[in-house]
Amino acid sequence: MSIKVKGITKLYGEQRALDEVSFSVKTGEVVGFIGPNGAGKSTMMKIITGYIPQTKGDVWVNDLNTLENSLEIRKTIGYLPENNPLYVEMYIKEYLTMVANLYEKKGKVAKKLVEDMIEQVGLGPEQNKKIGALSKGYRQRVGLAQALIHDPSVLILDEPTSGLDPNQIIEIRNFIHGLAKKKTILLSTHIMQEVEAICDRVVIINLGKIVADETTADLRKKESSLEKVFQKLTK
């Protein structure tokens, strides 16, 4: 298993954001992690990536426990947070070079990585601009580039197409679909068509608890669309 989550509970004071959450993601699998706003998706992703600790339970990434091996795990994970925090005053190449340096990639090696990432995510036409001058769609591409620059085996994407126009959504979706051939991907989204187009399996969370964990095909058999399944399970 690339990701194994067992009995995770997260408390904020008396508020229970996650309640005994358990699921796993196999190597090479693309799993949609979906739920309404406030269901606990982002909290779970932050725990998996080591940004915040859980109150109870365990998470393993590539067989390493996140509490015991946080720094080692971060070397193998690419993470695109929901709000895609970027240094808007930096130029694209400058920013990606800094990220490469953080992963101990220097000089010509870092330069080649940055060039390859710019090509892969389609940043070529904008590569000489400051991040602050980019459209939302191109900023998402920069976020994907920073998540991928160290060639992680596991990719965690929190609402990767949030706020994008229809054309941008299709472009980013196609790019993620291409990555699915060689990465383990956990992806949160509100767009059911995105889940159907990209994901092998769906984990649905509501009020901090898992309410479904099935293949996309099996869930679709229960209703005419995943949207209807989602609505029933998250009422």
Low-confidence residues of the chain: pLDDT under 50: none
Closest C-alpha to 21, from 202, 213, 200, 157: 213
Give residue limits of the domains in the chain: 1-21+39-71
Distance between CA 143 and CA 86 in Å, rounded?
Answer: 8
Which pLDDT value is given to residue 128?
94
Which pLDDT value is given to residue 112?
95
Which pLDDT value is given to residue 83?
85
Exposed e or buried b per residue across 4-13, where buried means at least 16 C-beta atoms within 10 angstroms of its C-beta: bbeebebeee
Give the number of residues written for the chain: 235
Which pLDDT value is given to residue 162?
77
Which pLDDT value is given to residue 134?
94
Cα distances (angstroms) measured from residue 104 to each of 94, 108, 110, 114: 15, 12, 9, 13
Distance between CA 10 and CA 63 in Å, rounded?
Answer: 22
Which pLDDT value is given to residue 186?
96
Distance between CA 186 and CA 34 in Å, rounded?
Answer: 10
Which pLDDT value is given to residue 68?
94
Distance between CA 144 and CA 224 in Å, rounded?
Answer: 33
Contact 28, 42 (CB under 8 A): no
Contacts 24+ apart (CB under 8 A), 100-105: 100/149, 100/150, 103/75, 103/149, 103/150, 105/149, 105/150
> For the segment 205-229, what is each residue's pLDDT rounded down to a tens digit?
999 999 999 998 888 888 778 888 8
CB atoms within 10 A of CB 104: 10
CB atoms within 10 A of CB 96: 25
Query: Phi-psi bin for 163: left (phi > 0), alpha (psi -120 to 50), beta?
Result: left
Distance between CA 71 and CA 49 in Å, rounded?
Answer: 10
Superfamily of domain 1-21+39-71: P-loop containing nucleotide triphosphate hydrolases (3.40.50.300)
Contact 87, 96 (CB under 8 A): no
